[in-house]
């Protein structure tokens, strides 16, 4: 009798086979979660870069305009256009004077902030399908 109880007890503890395709489903779920994490990280980096560049671009533009006004470059350009005969006679001196008073740092800062803004917008629109899938998947 006791031997039959042990046989019945052990009969219930046989190796249970997992359903077919369970491993593939688990691997697929893990890969999907990793892709969602990557998409979320990408979304927040784009958003951060876009916000920073959208804030920096108008300020750098205002600084550039103020430096151009205070540098006198407008005076040199208007003189060159108004008195073109004199400009042709002294074109090297005019161009050298214009290059010397250019606000190069401000031009570079504005160009970089505008470039980052456009680059981020382009990437954001390029990856839009991926980002929209992420946003709607979480809702």
Query: Counting every residue, how long is the chain?
Result: 139
Longest Cα–Cα distance of the chain, Å, equals 123
DSSP one-letter code for 15: P
Per-residue model confidence (pLDDT) at position 106: 92
Sign of CA dihedral 56, 59, 62, 63: negative
Q: How is the chain split into domains, by residue range?
A: 30-138
| C-alpha gyration radius of the chain | 34
98: Cβ–Cβ under 8 A, 6 or more apart, which residues? 73, 76, 77
Q: The tokens of 124 are what?
A: 């954001």
pLDDT tens digit string along 63-108?
999 998 898 888 888 888 898 888 889 889 888 888 888 899 999 9
Per-residue model confidence (pLDDT) at position 139: 47
């Amino acid at each position: 009798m006791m031997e039959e109880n042990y046989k019945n007890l052990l009969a219930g503890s046989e190796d249970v086979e997992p359903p077919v395709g369970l491993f593939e489903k688990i691997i697929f779920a893990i890969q999907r979660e990793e892709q969602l994490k990557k998409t979320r990280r990408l979304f927040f980096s784009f958003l951060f870069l876009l916000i920073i560049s959208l804030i920096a671009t108008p300020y750098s533009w205002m600084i550039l305009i103020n430096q151009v006004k205070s540098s006198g470059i407008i005076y040199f350009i208007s003189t060159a256009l108004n008195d073109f005969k004199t400009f042709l006679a002294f074109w090297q001196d005019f161009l050298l004077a214009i290059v010397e008073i250019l606000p190069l740092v401000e031009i570079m800062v504005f160009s970089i902030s505008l470039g980052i803004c456009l680059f981020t917008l382009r990437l954001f629109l390029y990856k839009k399908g991926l980002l929209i899938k992420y946003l709607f998947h979480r809702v």
